[in-house]
Structure 1
Amino acid sequence: MRILRSLLLGVLLVPFHLQAAQVEIHQPWLKETIPGSENGAAYLTLTNTGSEPLTLVGASTAAARLTEIHHHRMADGMMIMEQLPELILPVGEPVVFQPGGHHLMLFGISQPFKPGDTVDFVLQFSDGNEVTFTADVRSIHD
C-alpha cells in the first residue's frame, strides 16, 4: 500500500504540460446555404505561431453531419475537389482557405445557414490539441 501511495504521489508531482496548438485564426466565414443544398463550405486563414510545423488532421461542427478538409486542383484541364487527410501548417506562413482553394467542406448541414448566423468549429491537430473558433455566415451575394 505504501508503495502504491508513493507511486501515485510521484505521478502527481511530475509536471504535466499540454500546450494548446499555437495557431491564429483570421476571418472565418461561410456563405449562406444555396437553396436545396445540404452542404456548405467554411473559409479562414490559419497562421502557425509556434516553433514547429503543425499538422491539421480534422475539423468538426455540430452544424453538420461531417466536416472534411478539402482543396481544389486542376487535373486534365478540369478543376476537381478532393479531401485532404491532413494539412501541414508551416511556421509563420499563413494558409488561406478560400473559394477555389482550401476549405472546410460541410456535409449534411442540420439547418440552412443565413446571413448573420454564426457557426462554431473545432480544429483537430495531430498532436492531440484542438482549437475552437466561430465563423460568421455571409450572403451568397457578397
Structure 2
Amino acid sequence: MRQLFVLALVLCSLSVSSKQTDLIEISDVWVRGVLPVQKTSAAYFKIKNHTSRELKLESVDSAFANHSMMHKTVESNGMASMEHVESLTLAPNQEIIFKPGGLHVMIMGLKSEFSEQQQLKLTFKFDDGTVKQVNAQVKHP
C-alpha cells in the first residue's frame, strides 16, 4: 500500500512538472550556421511565460558545445559589445525575443560541424527546477 502511495505522489509531481513546461513557450528557435573552422555560434528564439508568476531563465545548454551563455549586445559611442546576462526574468505573460544584435545565447567550443538540415537540441533551465528541451534549426542568415 505504501508503495502505491509513493508511486502516486511521484506521478502527480511529474504531471505538475509537465504542465509547467507547457506554460513556457519557446518558439522560432534557430542556431547560426558556421564555417567548419569556427568554434562559436549563437542561438536565437522567442520565449513566453504563460504562467501567473515570474520565471527566471538561468541557462540554455547544448550537448553539441562545451559551453554556452546568455549575452546582450550593447552599443556605446558607436561601438557594439556583448555583456554577459547571468539570468533573465520573465514576468507573467511576458515574451522576450532573442535576436541578432540583441539578446542571444553564445555557444562556444563547438564539438562538431553541423549542417542546415540538422536539428540541434537546446536545454532551457529555470530557477524553479523546470527544464525544457527544444529543437533548433540550423540557419545561415
Taking structure 1 as the reference length, the TM-score comes to 0.83
Letter in 2 for 1:109: L
Q: Is the contact made by 1:42 and 1:105 (CA closer than 8 Å) also made in structure 2?
A: yes
- Structure number with the higher helix fraction is 2
Q: Is the contact made by 1:67 and 1:107 (CA closer than 8 Å) also made in structure 2?
A: yes
Which contiguous aligned blocks of 4+ residues in structure 1 show a shift greater than 3 angstroms? 11-18
1:12-45 deviation line (CA, Å, top 9, x unaligned) = 3768635334210111001211352100000000
**Residue 113 of structure 1: how far off its partner (Å):** 2.7
Using the aligned pairs only, state the percent identity: 25
The DSSP-based 3-state class of the residue aligned with 2:117 is: coil
Bigger Rg, which one: 1
Distance in 2 between the 1:67 and 1:123 partners?
A: 11
Q: Counterpart in 1 of 2:66?
A: 65
> For structure 2, which runs of at least 5 residues remain unmatched after alignment?
none
Q: Counterpart in 1 of 2:100?
A: 99
Distance in 2 between the 1:70 and 1:41 partners?
A: 10
The DSSP-based 3-state class of the residue aligned with 1:92 is: coil
Aligned pair count reads 133
Aligned CA-pair RMSD: 2.2
Taking structure 2 as the reference length, the TM-score comes to 0.83
In the TM superposition, 1:123-134 aligns within 5 A as: 123-134=124-135
Q: Counterpart in 2 of 1:137?
A: 138
